[in-house]
Chain A
Amino acid sequence: MTEIVMSQTPPILHGPSEKERKYDRQLRLWAASGQSALESANILLVNSGSGVVGVETLKNLVLPGIGRFAIYDEACVNEADLGVNFFLDDSCLGKSRSQSLTELLLELNPEVQGTWYPNESVEALESVLASSPVFTVVMYTHPISPKQLSLLEAYGQEHKTPLVAIHSAGFYSYFQINLPGAFPIVDTHPDETATTDLRLLSPWPELVAFSEGLTKDIDNLDDFEHGHLPYVMILLHYLERWKATHDGKYPATYKDKTEFRRMVQSAARTNNPEGGEENFDEAAAAVLRTLVYPSLPSGLKEVFEYQHTDPVEQRSGFWIIADAVKKFYDKHQCLPLPGKVPDMKAQSKVYIQLQSIYKAKARKDAAEILETVRSMPGGQNIDPAEVELFCKNAAFVKLINATGGKISRADRLRAVADQEFSSDQTAELTLSPLSLLPIYLALQPTAHMTGLYSSSPDANAAANAISADEILRGVAELVPGAEQNERVIQAAREVARAGGGELHNIAALTGGMVAQEMIKIITKQYVPIDNTCVFDGVASRCQVLRL
């Protein structure tokens, strides 16, 4: 109802609302749909250790207006917390860390709700999970006890909740996203320049007719008309001329295309005051980019070939539409037309006509797919807007976490380690950066050492001293032989140096990356990592690995 009333109100009377003004800079990234997904989300942080990285993540989610969050943290605030955590101050000393953090985070955005555990009524993590409304995402920080971890993993499986593990120590960090199944994204926001799809080598009748109408007398057009022909028309026209002298074939090879480009360039008029024509320059520049046959992009190919293991997942809107798009592709050997025309030199009227020819074709393709969708089981209730969005983005649809559990986590880690270490041996030759897997490996042995983070100022206090040798022994259990790798040894020494404590900068940086990923998962926009991101604060770079 509100929608209708709003659109009838003259535009002058409704500028942006207070909320639209506050969130303006982010609405330009994920629009109202993304915002409403954020506002419906409910996040749990299970916090431990020196406890900063998860809180920095939450800060970056509370500010853009996440619906609600909860912090589970058994620690009480100590002196060391105040040197590393910004959302605690002197008045918090000795109090429950989860409560203090929650209260100070809530100050950031009055629209967000937050709770903390343990509290007077709910104490154990188990009861938190049992008594709360379902969480959208659960994140936990290392070190975490194996018992709590298995509780969270069981919860994630039962509720199909994504789990995010985060570990930050000294200059190092990583985080790992554990999605409950294949995760498709339609609204991937590809770079504007990549999305041009003009179908110049397979024009449809309406486009051909429009182009012929404008160019049939091309050599007799006056300078203004000639200089304002849209480059799409120029290319279509000269492609026909090319075909006439090349057995009816389009320019196919690189050599053909450069020759064709010269043909276009030489057709520009130069006896005018400007000494050339901008639209012909645009046409020449577009030759290599736009004279391509439609092909199936790898992301969509993966979607088409995906073997379902979960019948419930298969009946979702995404997969039904994907099936219909596949049928369309099999029939026409091309994807539905996205329908967007880039800006180009042209008269207003001609450009708008051209634009509407592309839009009409895009609507027609989408309508055909919608019809297929409707004829499929479960396709009756699918929102036409969802079909339209899929058609518009078909070439950029991505599937994350596609291959499921055929190989065990432990085996996969070893396989990846083999691959990374062997590519490191040629890294110097190929000028590629060295693997950051050693950092991940060196952090693993401390992942469950909940006593490690002890904040005793004595560096050698038993509780926080873990030696590089101990770390390497742990690495050897995970990936036999890796403990002898020089870079693993260095990483182990760096991890030992931190003694389980966080550096604020690395926690803040990692919290920023994790928050970006959470936003992508919650809004189903942009492309999340698949599935582990390691950061090296010594070299200031990261690497994404599929572990």
Chain B
Amino acid sequence: MTSDEVYPGSEPARWVYLDRIRTRPGPFTNPDVFDGSAVAKAMESMKVLVIGAGGLGCEILKNLALSGFKDIHVIDMDTIDISNLNRQFLFRQADVGKFKAEVAAAFVEKRVKGVKITPHNCKIQNFDEDFYMQFQLVVCGLDSIEARRWINATLVNMVDEDVEDSYKPLIDGGTEGFKGQARVILPTVTSCIECQLDMHAPRAAVPLCTLASIPRQPEHCIEWAHVIAWDKEKPFPTLDKDDPEHITWLYQKALARAREFNIPGVTYSLTQGVVKNIIPAIAATNSVIAAACCNEALKIASNCAPFLGFPDDNYMMYSGNDSIYTYTFKHERKDDCPVCGQQARPLPNVDPAWTLRELLDSLAERPEAQLKKPSVRAEGKTLYMQSPPGLEAQTRPNLDKTLTELGLVDGQEIAVTDPAFATVTFKFRLRFK
């Protein structure tokens, strides 16, 4: 039976288990798109980009190397910290301080013969579309929403309907504690990261007046030290959240304030957790999520089985706190997605009596916006610009005017830009309450 034939690539003895699956069709393989005889060779010449060489990234590099990919690039600007060693298994005590991308790439290259891994110790924003165009797949293991949004917007922008090679599947993983998610984005085809933004809402900020006058929780005391006391006393020129001396200063300030108000629970560890917004992370969960991502990468690259993103499900949610639970579903595209949609996204509950400043502040916190340094225009009129300085100074007075004073009406469309996503104009439609 020809369908049982294995078509090994280089080193057949080494890749026997993989070749049995990726070069032979199974009961779920789509025969219209699967060509077992071409798979091994095609995968050997594919270029895959991994973004992040941390908890997920280390796992992803290992998994891709053992999935038959031979040409892998990895980007990470970070250096290795001692707190990485409980899960980032390509790093050792002696590597602390070195670049993650470099150490991870060298380790996997040495361990898995025949794979080439090119490290880039820098930010993803340092590269342009030409750089990203060379890859056939992008796999992300990031802890920052901002970086995900950036690469997502870049890949969606790169799509040219006439150029088949311009569609770069984006596979994204994320974890927190025993939970995580893996999702596949086929730019302009499936829902994108921006469509799904409200599923990853930022933690609600504590109102400034609570910090300043009525703290109740240890976190309030720590935020007070971080936001108010530090600025007032400036014990060091700039706050380095990785410097134990700085954290100790914040801890002691917070502790003194907690004592004043009889609030229990301020510890060094909590201080560090609040100030650095530390997310608990373990090897086991990274292992689950990274492998789920790379399993999709293998299926996309070989067509040996259906993958997330087509035709239905594109998102797998995983939770291991209470038994194990996965929810795999289709997240629908949004017409009003600022990155891949056509329409403006509604911005409900806007008060016409707000000042422009209040509107801008709300953009930072709203789950559907999460823009920290917004510049705003409406009907071609510039309301506020963060830069250049001259324009900022000219538009600054608008910040204290109310929306009504600025002539904004219910249903009005505004265009927002943010330096974190230079290529995107976010269109919102104001809905007054």
Using a CB–CB cutoff of 8 Å, the interface residues on chain A facing chain B are 11-12, 15-16, 18, 20-29, 50, 56, 59-60, 63-65, 79-80, 82-84, 86, 89-90, 107-110, 170-171, 188-191, 228, 343-349, 351-352, 433, 455-460, 489-491, 493-494, 497-499, 501-506, 508-509, 511-513, 515-517, 519, 526-530, 533, 537-542, 544
Contact = CB atoms under 8 A, between A and B. Distances in A.
Given A89-B111, A501-B16, A512 B85 contact: no
B283 A64 contact: yes
B63 A15 contact: no
B141 to A, nearest CB: 13
B130 interface: no
Nearest to B351: A275
Contacts of B87: 25-26, 63-64
Cβ-closest 9 pairs across A and B: A501-B17, A512-B287, A512-B288, A509-B291, A515-B284, A504-B66, A508-B291, A83-B14, A79-B13
Given A109-B85, A541-B328, 14 more contacts: A16-B268, A22-B82, A63-B283, A79-B13, A89-B110, A457-B8, A491-B27, A494-B28, A505-B295, A505-B298, A509-B287, A515-B284, A519-B284, A530-B323
B66 A84 contact: yes
Nearest to A18: B82
B20 interface: yes
Contact of B13 (A56, A65, A80, A171): A80
A26 B280 contact: yes
B43 interface: no
A82 B323 contact: no
A352 B95 CA distance: 46
Interface in B192-213: 210
21 contacts: A24-B278, A26-B87, A27-B269, A60-B287, A63-B283, A86-B111, A90-B113, A171-B26, A191-B321, A352-B216, A457-B6, A460-B4, A491-B27, A505-B295, A505-B298, A512-B283, A517-B324, A526-B322, A530-B323, A537-B295, A544-B324
B72 interface: no
Interface string B257-299: 0000111000011001100001111111111111110111010
Interface stretch (B305-313, B380-388, B423-431): B305-313
A16 B244 CA distance: 9
Nearest to A453: B17
B8 A513 contact: no
B325 to A, nearest CB: 8
A539 B308 CA distance: 8
A505 B326 contact: no
B316 interface: yes
B320 A12 contact: no
Interface string B348-392: 000000000000000000000000000000000000000000000
Contact of A504 (B5, B63, B244, B321): B63
A540 B308 contact: yes
A352 B263 contact: yes
Given A64-B86, A459-B4, A509-B287, A497 B16 contact: no
Contacts of A27: 269
A533 B324 contact: yes
Contact of A170 (B21, B66, B272): B21
B433 to A, nearest CB: 11
A540 B28 contact: no
B5 A459 contact: yes
B20 A459 contact: yes
B82 A343 contact: no
Contacts of A188: 322
Given A494-B27, A544-B323, A24 B269 contact: yes
A140 to B, nearest CB: 19
B294 A505 contact: yes
A433 B172 CA distance: 23
Interface stretch (B117-125, B247-255, B397-405): B247-255
A348 B260 CA distance: 10
A55 to B, nearest CB: 12
A229 to B, nearest CB: 13
A312 B266 CA distance: 42
B11 A83 contact: yes
B86 A503 contact: no
B321 A189 contact: yes
A26 B83 CA distance: 10
A348 B89 contact: no
Most buried by A among B66, B263, B285, B313: B66
B37 interface: no
B283 A503 contact: no
B284 A60 contact: yes
B83 A352 contact: no
A494 B66 contact: no
A455 B6 contact: no
Nearest to B85: A22
B281 A455 contact: no
Most buried by A among B63, B216, B326, B327: B216
B59 interface: yes
Contacts of A456: 16
Interface string B98-111: 00000000000011
Contact of A508 (B6, B290, B306): B290
Most buried by B among A28, A79, A89: A28
Contact of A538 (B177, B292, B306, B323): B306
Contacts of A508: 59, 62-63, 287, 290-291, 294
A342 B177 CA distance: 22
A24 B363 CA distance: 33
A348 B263 contact: yes
B215 A348 contact: yes
Interface in B53-109: 59, 62-63, 66-67, 82-83, 85-87, 89, 92-93
Contacts of B327: 541
A515 B214 CA distance: 43
Contacts of A189: 321
A530 B324 CA distance: 9
A409 B295 CA distance: 33
Most buried by B among A18, A90, A348, A527: A348
B248 A490 contact: no
A29 B282 contact: yes
Most buried by B among A21, A109, A538: A538
B63 A505 contact: yes
B13 A455 contact: yes
A61 to B, nearest CB: 8
Nearest to A493: B27
A343 B216 contact: yes
Contact of B86 (A23, A170, A458, A489): A23
A259 B4 CA distance: 69
Contacts of B322: 188, 190, 526-527
B217 interface: yes
B28 A490 contact: yes
Given A79-B14, A505-B295, A512 B285 contact: yes
A70 B207 CA distance: 53
B323 A497 contact: no
B284 A516 contact: yes
A21 B263 contact: no
A480 to B, nearest CB: 22
A16 B83 CA distance: 11
B15 A83 contact: yes
Contacts of B285: 512, 516
A459 to B, nearest CB: 5
A331 B323 CA distance: 32
Contacts of B298: 503, 505
A457 B12 contact: yes
B148 interface: no
B126 to A, nearest CB: 28
A473 to B, nearest CB: 18
A177 B86 CA distance: 25
A491 B28 CA distance: 9
B269 A526 contact: no
Contact of A24 (B19, B83, B216, B290): B83
